[in-house]
Chains A and B, each alone.
Chain A
């Protein structure tokens, strides 16, 4: 089967750093994406890793290790507006579709 595992909830303090892990087991792999979704809104794209290593985009970084079927999203200098659900998704399968994790709810405390 195909599955992605990520923690259901993470709590952090404003200004801190938080890492959200994602492990995957899929048939076919073209890349690992991260999306942010605020309550009531649609997902918005954060990052995409097709190759091993770290991709940095401002306060957000994403890492991929294909040999370990593992990746993470790193959020630095946390702000209250970063409170949202974060989904990892693997582009794979027979249809080149996105296979989604269950999402991690990030709770940020002042």
Chain B
């Protein structure tokens, strides 16, 4: 079945550094990928929609200069948390909709747990 690979699974970094998270669709082309953020015991919050070859669409309240999204190919989207601070510590999850005919499944990466010290 379709698989989305997300890397790294866990990051611990110092305040002020930048962290890049990769999301790959392994056996399908994803023109659109979604980036979510989840705090403990809460639902997923959509941060942005990543579109291949064009700028990402950010949800209200999400700083586009803080969370840089690049979707350079049909199988890869990256999220870079720039100048990370402790309040950016969270669980980040990417997702892609396979878009195959007859299939309406959104596949999720395993998530990246970011801890900023």
**Chain A residues close to B by CB (< 8 Å):** 30-31, 33, 35, 40-45, 48, 50, 87, 91, 95-98, 100-103
How many residue pairs at the A-B interface have CB separations less than 8 Å?
Answer: 47
Pick the contact of A95 from B57, B104, B106, B107 — CB < 8 Å?
B57
- B104 and A44 contact, CB distance less than 8 A: no
- A97 and B43 contact, CB distance less than 8 A: no
- A45 and B107 contact, CB distance less than 8 A: yes
Residue of A nearest to B112 (CB): A42
B25 within 8 A of A: no
Q: Which residues of chain A are near B6, meaning CB under 8 Å?
A: 42
CB distance from A99 to the nearest CB of B (A): 8
Chain B interfacial residues counted at CB < 8 A: 20
Q: Which residues of chain A are near B43, meaning CB under 8 Å?
A: 87, 100-103
22 A-B pairs with CB atoms under 8 Å apart are A30-B104, A31-B104, A33-B104, A41-B110, A42-B6, A42-B93, A42-B108, A42-B111, A43-B44, A43-B108, A45-B106, A45-B108, A48-B105, A50-B104, A87-B43, A96-B97, A97-B34, A98-B106, A100-B43, A102-B42, A102-B43, A103-B42
Q: Which residues of chain B are near A48, meaning CB under 8 Å?
A: 104-105
- A100 and B34 contact, CB distance less than 8 A: no
Q: Which residues of chain B are near A95, meaning CB under 8 Å?
A: 49, 57
